[in-house]
Every structure is written in C-alpha cells, then in structure tokens.
C-alpha cells in the first residue's frame, strides 16, 4: 500500500522556466509534508516542508503548495537552474503511536533542467 505517490518518474524543463513536481498521498492523518533533493552518490538533503494546517510555504525559488481536500502537494521551482537537476522525494510524516513519528517517502521524480 503506497501511501505517498509520485506518479511522474521524470521531468525535463528548460533553464529559467518553472518546474512543478507533484505528489499525492492517501493517509489523511499525515501532519507534515517534506521535499528532499538527492544528487547521485549523495544522501538526500532536506529542501522545504509544510504543515498540514497551511496551504503554502515559500523559501526563495522553492514553493510548496498543499491541497488537503485533494490530498495533493506540489513543489514549484522558479526559475529552474541546471544545478536543480536531481531526484526529488516527497515525504509525509505520520504517527504510528505515542511519539513514534516517522516519514514515508515517495519513489522520487528525476528532474532534469536543460541549459
């Protein structure tokens, strides 16, 4: 049962344009959503997060939008740069009991930004 879904394995955009990465989830109890970026041969790095009580969070070129009714979130990168080329993972935080929160990750989307 895949609770966090990234249905696009890859996305290609031109430098300077907007990149939109999408993520859907099934568990309405998730309370935080996060995006991670991963370069080859490196560990994932935290990019941006959003609480379930908000619908938008912005950090420089990166904005995350949350639509709770649709159980959908998206990451917008504007403008896209070649250095943004990486795999992007969507993650959601859930509670398995007590204080045992943990993250569930999607399968990732490979973003390629062409010069």
Partner 1 sequence: NAGVTQTPKFQVLKTGQSMTLQCAQDMNHNSMYWYRQDPGMGLRLIYYSASEGTTDKGEVPNGYNVSRLNKREFSLRLESAAPSQTSVYFCASSEAAGGASYGYTFGSGTRLTVV
Give yes or no for residue 9 binding partner 1 (CB under 8 A). Answer: yes
Task: Tally the C-alpha atoms within 13 A of residue 25's C-alpha that lie toward its C-beta.
Answer: 28
Of 11, 20, 103, 110, the one binding partner 1 by CB under 8 A: 103
Query: Judged by CB under 8 A, how many residues of this single chain contact partner 1?
Result: 30
Q: Are 46 and 34 in contact (CB under 8 A)?
A: yes
Compute the half-sphere exposure of residue 69: CA atoms within 13 Å on the CB side of its CA. Answer: 0
Report the nearest approach of partner 1 to the CB of residue 30 (Å): 10
Interacting residues toward partner 1 by CB under 8 A: 6, 9, 31-32, 34, 36, 41-46, 49, 51, 89, 91, 93-96, 99-108
């Amino acid at each position: 049962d895949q609770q966090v879904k990234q249905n696009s394995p890859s996305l290609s955009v031109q430098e300077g344009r907007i990149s939109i990465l999408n993520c859907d989830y099934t568990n309405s109890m998730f309370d935080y959503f996060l995006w991670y970026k991963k370069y080859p041969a490196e560990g994932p790095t935290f990019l941006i997060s959003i609480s379930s009580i908000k619908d938008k969070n912005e950090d420089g070129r990166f904005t995350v939008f949350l639509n709770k009714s649709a159980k959908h979130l998206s990451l917008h990168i504007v403008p896209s740069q070649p250095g943004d080329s990486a795999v992007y993972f969507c993650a959601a935080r859930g509670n398995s009991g007590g204080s045992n929160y943990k993250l569930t990750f999607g399968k990732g989307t490979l973003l390629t930004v062409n010069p």
